[in-house]
Every structure is written in structure tokens, then in C-alpha cells.
């Protein structure tokens, strides 16, 4: 595939479009303390960002009971929502690049580990409630890296997998793209190291969001 052949761009949210990783890590630590669990280090928490919240918690704490999981999720949500009274900012270059993608006729979508309530909250906060062709959240479909949310996006946009590109900062994003038969782009500034992401053979690895638009704009 040439960069100019893609028709659909799908973005992870946390760590790809929004600079929110620090708040997620902090909220997970607070929830662990309030739930009486031993804290995991920052690297371990970053390693589960991208999963749906229940899957993320169970990865960190495999022996957690169902009732403990419910309480843990509530502690996490309480702290994270409070910290998001001022929404996490979008990374530099995101707004300008997304405007260019829209003007150039791309289908645009979000595939996130957030819950629908959380995704709608941040989309509204940034004035993007109706910005994307479709958005999919982890609590309304299968969690990454299962390809279901990408398959639903492809069906909605009537685009073939080879015409779509998944952009993300975690192994779950890139594995999900691979599972769906589509290409991916890895960003180096999010939750996981670019070295770990390159193991999934993304078409491109970027250090700044605007590099994506420059690459897609290359002559055929």
C-alpha cells in the first residue's frame, strides 16, 4: 500500500491524541491504595493502558475478585473524572492534522480502551462530539487486541482492511490492527516504548503527530 491509498484513519485516544497517560497512571495508583492492593510501578501500569478497564485491572491484579473489581473501578473512575475537570490536552499538531485529514476526505474514527461515558465526556470537552465518522469504546465491544471494534468501524465506513490505518501508542493497538488485517502507525510519545511497538512492524513510527500527515501526503 502507498500512503496515498488509505481511506480510513483510526486513532487510539489516550496517549495518541490526548496527553492523558500521567493521569491514568495516577488514578490507577490511587485506586490501588484505596482498594488495599499493592501498588504496581509506573511501567507496569503503562503496560496495560489500551485495554478495557476491567481487563487492565485483572492484568495488574489477576487474583482480584468480582466484588473487589467493582470497587476498584469505582475508585479509579472517581479519581480520574475529578482529575479531568480540565480535560487532558491534545498533543501538539493533533488539531491541525485532523482538520487537514477531514479536508482531504479521509474517514476518521476512534477505537479506544475508554468506556463510552468517558469517551463521550472528552469528545464533548474538545468540541468533537460529531467530529468522527464513528467511535468505538471498550465497554460496548470487545477489548483490544480483539479486532471486533475495528471490524465494526470498517463495516460502518464500508472500507476494506487494506484501506485502513490504525494509529496507536500501545502493543494492544498494533496487535488489534494486525488481527484485523490492517496496517498500523506507532507513536513514540505515549504509554509504551517505541522499541516494543516496532516488534509489530508498523508502517511508520512517529515522534510528533504532524509527521503522520506529512507521510500520508507523499506523492503517489
| Residues across the chain | 220
For the entire predicted model, the pTM comes to: 0.93
Cβ(176)–Cβ(144) below 8 Å: yes
| CB contact at 8 A, 23 and 80 | yes
Decide whether 3-19+89-216 matches 21-83 in CATH topology.
no
Burial pattern 126-142, b for ≥16 Cβ within 10 A else e, equals: bebeeebbbbbbbeebb
Digitized pLDDT (tens) for each residue of the chain, 220 residues in all? 687 789 999 999 999 999 999 999 999 999 999 999 999 999 999 999 989 899 999 999 999 999 999 999 999 999 999 988 888 999 999 999 999 999 999 999 999 999 999 999 999 999 998 999 999 999 999 999 999 999 999 999 999 999 999 999 999 999 999 999 999 999 999 999 999 999 999 999 999 999 999 999 987 6
Contact 60, 44 (CB under 8 A): yes
| CATH among 1.20.1560, 1.10.3470, 1.10.150, 1.20.140 for 21-83 | 1.10.150
CATH number attached to the domain at 3-19+89-216: 3.40.50.1000
- Cα→Cα distances 100→68, 104, 106, 107, 188, Å: 45, 6, 9, 12, 22
Where are the domains positioned within the chain?
Answer: 3-19+89-216, 21-83
The owner of cell 507523499 is 218
Amino acid at each position: 500500500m502507498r500512503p496515498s491509498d488509505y481511506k480510513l484513519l483510526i486513532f487510539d485516544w489516550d496517549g495518541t491524541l490526548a496527553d492523558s497517560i500521567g493521569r491514568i497512571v495516577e488514578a490507577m495508583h490511587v485506586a490501588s491504595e484505596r482498594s488495599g492492593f499493592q501498588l504496581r510501578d509506573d511501567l507496569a501500569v503503562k503496560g496495560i493502558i489500551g485495554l478495557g478497564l476491567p481487563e487492565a485491572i485483572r492484568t495488574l491484579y489477576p487474583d482480584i475478585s468480582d466484588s473487589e473489581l467493582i470497587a476498584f473501578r469505582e475508585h479509579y473512575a472517581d479519581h480520574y473524572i475529578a482529575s479531568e475537570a480540565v480535560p487532558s490536552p491534545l498533543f501538539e499538531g493533533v488539531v491541525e492534522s485532523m482538520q487537514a485529514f477531514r479536508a482531504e476526505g479521509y474517514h476518521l474514527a476512534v477505537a479506544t480502551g475508554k468506556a463510552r461515558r468517558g469517551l463521550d465526556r472528552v469528545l464533548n470537552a474538545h468540541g468533537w462530539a460529531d467530529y468522527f465518522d464513528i467511535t468505538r469504546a471498550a465497554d460496548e465491544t470487545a477489548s483490544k487486541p480483539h479486532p471486533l471494534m475495528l471490524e465494526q468501524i470498517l463495516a460502518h465506513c464500508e472500507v476494506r482492511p487494506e484501506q485502513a490505518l490504525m494509529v496507536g501508542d500501545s502493543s494492544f493497538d498494533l496487535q488489534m490492527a494486525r488481527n484485523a488485517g490492517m496496517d498500523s502507525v506507532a507513536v513514540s510519545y505515549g504509554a509504551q516504548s517505541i522499541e516494543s511497538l516496532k516488534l509489530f512492524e508498523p508502517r511508520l513510527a512517529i515522534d510528533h503527530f504532524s509527521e503522520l500527515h506529512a507521510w500520508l501526503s507523499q506523492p503517489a
